[in-house]
Amino acid sequence: MKKLVHLATIMTIIIAIAVMPVPADAKKPQREVNGEMVYVGNGYPSGPHFNLNFLAKWLDTFICPTEAEYDSETPDKNVIYVPRSPSQNIGVLIESGRRGPKNSIDQTVLEVTDWCTEDFPDQPDGDRDDAAMRLPPDPVGYLVYARITGKPVDANGDSFYANLGGCLKYAEDSSGNDLILLGLVSSDGESYVPTCDDGDTPGDTIELMRTNSSSGKGVKKATNITSIFLWSGQVCDIVTTVAESNTTFCCVDADSSGDGVYEHCDPLDTVGIGDPLVCPISYTGDIDGTSGTWPYTTVYASCSDYTNEWVFNVADFVGYLWSVESSGAYNIKVRFYPCSEQPSGACGEIGS
């Protein structure tokens, strides 16, 4: 059976977490502003949550801890080490899904499984370039807030910031089959082609900034970054018969590597010929930068539409490649609030 992940939603994500054995419960005072209740203090909402910390280290002096050292120094497995060098891309693979992370479906806490990016020596997993973490599933989704807390080290002494982005790495069903992802859009309504393979991360970015202040008054309050985890589009599972399907595609396998992935798909109702509609013999155009003509294959699929869905709930198992670009920021804290444990209506669109 051929499988495909063709178009992917671009969402921007901010990271920094300190994981707890169970969700912590932040109780913050609120006040009314223009008819809305807002949180006072550091800007984080109240309620159960998971925490994660990104800590930046100098490349020439820091050596990634061994698993034994990491377990001893960070028993909550809640820290990811990133380069302190400005404008250096950082990748973090987040694994979760409707059933949980595919290698730990009973996951109940946020857990960092690879705590150093590729830049540091002696990574715990020599075959993976990115740091990695697991996030427990939530049937509704999460609210996500992020905040920079470290002392600014920008060369101008004025401010420091972190830009975040990312792309869908994989989406699989319970049998490990890739899903076809079509018509995907980012949180601002734009459509994109996935770029995980070439390292680019187009689309929205969220910027966290802190101004310089020896008294700490320049620290920016926590920013709601939930929108970068929301996903809108259509997800299709390949099936074998017309009876099982609600959508038919004309797909192209332009890769001779035998990886079982269709590099291009068109809905039958947009390219079909005849009555009843059938796929044309071939497709002529550009695929992954190569022009040519390839035979069409008819693919049956069962598709579902989503609007502002928590990205990790679009498939049984989902991997999201989170990218971080920093200019002087060396401590970013992020909190994940499971919506199923928040007050009714607290999660807004996610809760609906």
Residue 108 has pLDDT above 90, yes or no: yes
Considering only 29-33, 105-109, 166-170, 257-261, which range has the smallest mean pLDDT?
29-33
Q: CB-based contacts of 307: which residues, under 8 Å, 6+ apart?
A: 232
274: left (phi over 0), alpha (psi -120 to 50) or beta: left
Q: pLDDT tens digits, residue range 50-77?
A: 999 988 888 888 888 989 999 999 999 9
Shortest CA distance to 298 belongs to which of 311, 325, 280, 322? 280
Q: pLDDT tens digits, residue range 332-341?
A: 888 999 999 8
Q: pLDDT tens digits, residue range 188-238?
A: 555 444 445 544 444 455 666 665 554 444 556 788 888 778 777 788 888
User: Global pTM?
Assistant: 0.76
How many residues in total does the chain contain?
Answer: 352
Three-class secondary structure of residue 269 per DSSP: helix
Burial class (CB in 10 A: 0-12, 13-18, 19+), 62: middle
Residue 266 has pLDDT above 80, yes or no: yes
> In this structure, are residues 53 and 20 in contact, taking their beta carbons and an 8 Å threshold?
no
Element holding 311 (H helix, E strand): none
